[in-house]
Amino acid sequence: MAQDTRTDQALSLTLSARQTADFELLANGGFAPLGGFMGADDWSSVVETMKLERGGIWSIPIVLATDLDTAEGDVVELSAVDGKALGRMTVEEVFERDVEREAELVYRTRDDAHPGVAAIYGEGNRCIAGRIEADALPDHDDAFQRRLLSPEESRQAFAERGWKRIVAFQTRNPIHRAHEYLTKAALEISDGLFLHPIIGETKKGDIPAEVRMRCYEILLERYYPQDRTVLGVNPAAMRYAGPREAIFHAIVRRNYGATHFIVGRDHAGVGDYYGTYDAQQIFDKVDLGELGIEPLFFEHTFWCQDCEGMASNKTCPHPDDAHLFLSGTKVREMLAAGETPPHEFTREEVAEILINAYGEESD
């Protein structure tokens, strides 16, 4: 939860890592049309209907949970998780949310073993709402800062390239063969690819963002057309909300200028909380014209020994014993043991970066 300080001069609040990420996306336009942290009406409408109270598709509440002793009309100075001053918010409302109801409808579970549910339970019910006024944005490591495009900057980059049909790809993992296959398939029917990995807070066990960035950089340098690919970074934190987060990710990429968005197997999933293609099926429940971005659905892909390449059940006629599948758990076990995953699963350059990173962790 955000930490508060009251002085005679002003109220101040140090945001958590996730709240800091939310502030940045509110400030830079990534969360448009939101201009601040939600109040009770928007919270309730989003949780119950996936729409903002005044209209417009929105699937995950963006609230500021805190026990700060404040009231309507107070001005609260906001700082990043590292203490950097960011700006302020004039409190328009103080309200109590029902975190169990939010967990049930947004995350489809009340189980606090789910990392997204655990996060909102840890934040608590009490929230303050209001528009923000940004003086600065959070700092990022150099590896991310040079790739940190605002929505306005990414739209400008696409326009300068003459792109009209832009497909965005969301990832919190290194790009393996399956990801490469589907991004290149999407690139075949678009003007350009916007690779837009999340660099905000993720769950324990996920590959660190700085390691993932090294993987993205070398893949783009060696295996993607430079004039048809833009690598940016999304400062958002992961919620692991599965289907709801697929809609959420699509909205954010729309704001960054993408016209299409890749939705693959178990998008933004965790554990066994969601069905394999629930994140695709949820798009049937929204008006795509209102959403403003078109999803591109892909099946689970694999390396087929008989096809001698990547394929899916839509394209491959061969039996399962010809297919190479590796779970994330199995790959992490191999990396931790210093073993190189098969060529059919990942590029050797990516495997080398990951093995070295695992070795550094164990030193």
> Percent of the chain having pLDDT more than 70?
96
For residue range 92-127, list pLDDT tens digits in order. 999 999 999 999 999 999 999 999 999 999 999 999
Q: How far apart are CA 329 and CA 307, in angstroms?
A: 26
**pLDDT for 221:** 94
Both 164 and 106 in one domain: the answer is no
Per-chain mean pLDDT for the chain:
93
**pLDDT tens digits for range 180-234:** 999 999 999 999 999 999 998 888 777 888 888 999 999 999 999 999 999 999 9
- Both 35 and 163 in one domain: the answer is no
What pLDDT, on a 0 to 100 scale, did the predictor assign at position 71? 96
Of 100, 134, 168, the residue that ends a domain is 134
Last residue of a domain, one of 82, 110, 134: 134
Active site residue 18: no
The pair of three-digit structure tokens given for residue 39, joined into one six-digit string: 């109040």
Residue where one domain finishes, among candidates 78, 105, 134: 134
Do 81 and 209 belong to one domain?
no
Are 124 and 182 part of one and the same domain? no
Indicate which CATH number applies to the domain containing 354. Answer: 3.40.50.620
Same domain flag for 77 and 146: no
Q: Residues 54, 163: one domain?
A: no
pLDDT score recorded for residue 205: 74
CA atoms within 13 A on the CB side of 27: 21
Q: What is the rounded distance in angstroms from the CA atom of residue 267 to the CA atom of residue 272?
A: 12
Q: Give the range of the structural domain holding residue 77, as residue numbers without chain letter.
A: 3-134
The one-letter code for the residue type at 36 is: G
Q: Which residue out of 172, 239, 244, 254 is catalytically annotated?
A: 172
- The pLDDT value given to residue 191: 98
Q: pLDDT at residue 57 above 80?
A: yes
Same domain, 147 and 95: no
Instruction: Please indicate, yes or no, whether residues 174 and 69 belong to a single structural domain of this protein.
Output: no
Q: Could you tell me if 69 and 173 lie in one domain?
A: no
Tell me how many domains the chain contains.
Answer: 2
What would the pLDDT profile of 3-19 be if each residue is shown by its tens digit? 555 444 579 999 999 99
The whole-number average pLDDT for the span 157-175 is 94
Tokens for 139, please give them.
Answer: 């700092």
pLDDT, tens digit, 9 for 90 and up, residues 279-318 = 999 999 999 999 999 999 999 899 999 999 999 999 999 9
Taking residues 132-152, what's their average pLDDT? 94
Q: Stretch 38-46: mean pLDDT, rounded?
A: 98
Residues 30 and 50 in one domain: yes
pLDDT at 4: 53
Structure tokens at 60: 């995950």
Do 92 and 161 share a structural domain? no
Residues 89 and 226 in one domain: no
Give residue 152's pLDDT.
98
Per-residue confidence (pLDDT) for residue 280, from 0 to 100:
97
Catalytic residue flag (residue 173)? yes
Catalytic site residue from 173, 265, 332, 356: 173
